[in-house]
Amino acid sequence: MLKNDRYLRAALSQPVDKTPVWMMRQAGRYLPEYREIRAKAGDFMSLCTNPELACEVTLQPLRRYELDAAILFSDILTIPDAMGLGLYFKTGEGPAFQKPVRSKSDVENLFVPDIFKELGYVTDAVSLIRKELDGKVPLIGFSGSPWTLATYMVEGGTTKNFGLIKGMMFEQPQLMHQLLETLAQSVTAYLNAQIESGAQAVMIFDTWGGVLSTQNYQGFSLNYMQQIISGLKRTHDGNQIPVTMFTKGGAGWLEQMVESGADCLGLDWTVDIDQARARVGDKVALQGNMDPCVLYSNPQRIKEEVADILAKFGNGCGHVFNLGHGIHPTIEPENVKAYVDAVHQLSEQYHD
């Protein structure tokens, strides 16, 4: 039995007593206790693939802050790694693949992983986290979107101009669709496995959808996220499973996103939440959307920014407070407390 279901209710546009709050990347490098565990693990993937350590770092921020949800500690690139592409991390440069996907044969050699076999360390971590949470708050599972995963797979790592992935999209659109279809099937199976293992909500991170044109966003990103959402388990053990979809840089497409089937849409900080709410009405909940860099300021300024966002959303249901993207690793932990406490203290007035 959940002691605090505020996040789940808000994501489903149901009444709450206060606006729930959590942070993308809330388990991470800004916490000294995380850095200690990371050093113990030896490298990032060793941390991700150890269910006990992944559980520990998932729970760390909940010991410091009155957050309304936990999010599984993992990485979006576990799926392509399970496909045999050889994920590794370059110090200071981010993720890279030993076998990037560049040709027709590369795409045809990809397969939908056996989730419980190839990614059992993730589902084991989900089960362990649920047990250790003991109903304190709900657990969010997640995956990257097919377009975002494909970006890393084709580029071979991080990129600034997206030349390789967009080159394939424009020159070989059918090949790109074949790649995205395999990824969509994989993500659907992956998220359903997380739900079966104990995740009480799931989120799709479309980190790079915003680099596309409107037409290509619809065809190469949104369509595949819609396919995933239509294939997800929306109830488990008698409970609804909220689905959140977040396209960074996607504020111009909110009306199209509403039709995706998601319960909640994530917003970055480039759109005012009052305008977003006016555009989507009561069709979906909204998650967001404070600029993470506000957390570099002082507690009073943080409180003012929280107050402004809460006031812009206004009265009623369907707001999950979050940052507009992941927390930066050089943020002071004390400022996170100011942020979380401000949301709870200031939001009661907006709920009957």
Q: Binding site for substrate: residue ranges?
A: 25-29, 75, 152, 207, 325
Q: Which member of 6, 38, 130, 277 is catalytic? A: 38
Query: Can you tell me the distance from the alpha carbon of 145 to that of 76, in angstroms, rounded to the nearest whole number?
Result: 9
Cα distances (Å, whole numbers) of residue 246 to 111, 139, 180, 280, 308? 26, 17, 18, 14, 22
34 catalytic per annotation: no
**Closest of 285, 154, 281 to residue 220, by C-alpha:** 154
> Which segments are annotated as binding site?
25-29, 75, 152, 207, 325
- The answer to whether residues 162 and 98 touch, using CB atoms and an 8 Å cutoff, is no
Identity at 319, one-letter amino acid code: H
Catalytic residue list contains 75: yes
Alpha-carbon distances, residue 88 vs 1, 160, 240 (angstroms): 39, 19, 36
Is 43 in the active site? no
Q: Which residues have C-beta within 8 Å of that of residue 282, sequence separation ≥ 6?
A: 13, 317, 318
Question: One of 7, 152, 190, 224 is an active-site residue; which one?
Answer: 152
Facing residues of 139 across strands?
70
- Which of the residues 9, 25, 130, 277 is marked catalytic? 25
- Give the DSSP per-residue string, 255-308: HHHHTT--SEEE--TTS-HHHHHHHHTTSSEEEEEE-GGGGGS-HHHHHHHHHH
Active site residue 29: yes
Choose the catalytic residue: 6, 7, 30, 75. 75
Q: How far apart are CA 43 and CA 59, in angstroms?
A: 19
63 belongs to the catalytic site: no
Instruction: State the catalytic residue, choosing from 29, 102, 279, 301.
Output: 29
Residues catalogued as catalytic: 25, 29, 38, 75, 152
